């Protein structure tokens, strides 16, 4: 297996672990590294097409899951923000009558 594909697989595993741990800063850093490694792997003239295709397919599936998770978290945070805003508005109304 080519070095770039192996590095991509290792980084992919680290990305999955960071997502599971909720370490979004690490996810961002690993995302940048994955992009770099994909570029490197694609430029290798003697790459193993099958291994690269499998690594990219697996990475793509992970990104689909990460996007779905991010959208769910975004929705939850939006709901919490709306609740906080309603609470703030209610507090203002209450203060007006005291």
Give 11-36 pLDDT, tens digit per residue: 999 999 999 898 989 999 999 999 99
Per-residue model confidence as pLDDT tens digits over 40-94: 888 888 888 999 999 999 999 999 998 998 899 899 999 999 988 988 888 777 7
Tell me the chain's radius of gyration from C-alpha atoms.
Answer: 21
The pair of three-digit structure tokens given for residue 66, joined into one six-digit string: 């990460």
| pTM given for the model | 0.73
Are 9 and 30 in contact, with CB atoms under 8 Å apart?
A: no
**Burial letters 37-51, b for 16+ CB under 10 A, else e:** bbebbeeeeebeeeb
pLDDT at residue 50, as a whole number: 92
- Which residue range(s) make up the domain with 85? 3-96
**Count of domains observed in the chain:** 1
Q: Which residues contact 10 (CB under 8 A, 6 or more apart)?
A: none
């Amino acid at each position: 297996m080519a070095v770039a594909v192996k590095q991509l697989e290792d980084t992919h595993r680290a990305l999955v672990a960071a997502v599971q741990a909720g370490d979004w800063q690490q996810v961002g850093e690993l995302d940048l590294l994955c992009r770099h490694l994909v570029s490197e792997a694609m430029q290798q003239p003697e790459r193993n097409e099958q291994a690269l295709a499998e690594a990219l397919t697996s990475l793509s599936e992970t990104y689909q899951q990460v996007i779905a998770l991010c959208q769910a978290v975004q929705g939850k945070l939006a709901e919490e923000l709306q609740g906080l805003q309603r609470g703030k508005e209610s507090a203002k109304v209450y203060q007006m009558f005291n």
